[in-house]
């Protein structure tokens, strides 16, 4: 498992805005995974790779700023963070910390 995680970490070092989540893509391909929200959290916590988990607090804050808010938009949000030169995990934590203030 350690070797697999190291391989995923190496892939993440080559992430770009156009290829924002290479470790997650590798896990999906390796295991023919379909629902990948849990895998995204694994990438964040174990691989320390790019992810932008969207829970209800993050979603509310994304809505407040007119940003994509669906789980399928995680890849877009990671790419935008990388384009801005920011760590997607840190940006997601900022949205989580500020989340919950938006009322529809």
22-73 pLDDT, tens per residue?
Answer: 999 999 999 888 777 788 888 989 999 999 888 888 888 899 889 888 877 8
For residue 67, is it within any domain? yes
In the beta sheet, which residues pair with residue 19?
16
**Side-chain half-sphere CA neighbours of 87 within 13 A:** 8
> Distance between CA atoms of 37 and 79, rounded to whole angstroms?
17
In the beta sheet, which residues pair with residue 16?
19
pLDDT of residue 100: 64
What's the total number of domains in the chain? 1
Q: How confident is the model at residue 103 (pLDDT cuts 50, 70, 90)?
A: low
pLDDT of residue 35: 73
Enclosing domain of residue 39: 2-98
For residue 103, is it within any domain? no
Q: What are the backbone dihedrals phi and psi of residue 2, each rounded to the nearest 5 degrees, phi first?
A: -60, -40
Express as a percent the part of the chain with pLDDT over 70. Answer: 95
For residue 35, is it within any domain? yes
For residue 66, is it within any domain? yes
Where helices occur in 13-102 by DSSP H, the ranges are: 22-31, 37-42, 56-64, 74-83, 88-98
For residue 89, is it within any domain? yes
For residue 104, is it within any domain? no
pLDDT of 102 over the 60 cut: no
For residue 24, is it within any domain? yes
For residue 23, is it within any domain? yes
């Amino acid at each position: 498992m350690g070797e697999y995680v190291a391989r995923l970490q190496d892939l993440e070092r080559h992430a770009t805005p156009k290829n924002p989540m290479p470790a997650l893509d590798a896990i999906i391909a390796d295991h023919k995974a379909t629902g990948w929200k849990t895998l995204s959290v694994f990438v964040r916590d174990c691989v320390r790779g790019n992810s932008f988990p969207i829970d209800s607090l993050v979603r509310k804050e994304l809505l407040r700023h007119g940003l994509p808010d669906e789980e399928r938009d995680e890849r877009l949000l990671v790419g935008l963070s990388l384009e801005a030169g920011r760590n997607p995990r840190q940006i997601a934590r900022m949205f989580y910390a500020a989340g919950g203030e938006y009322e529809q």
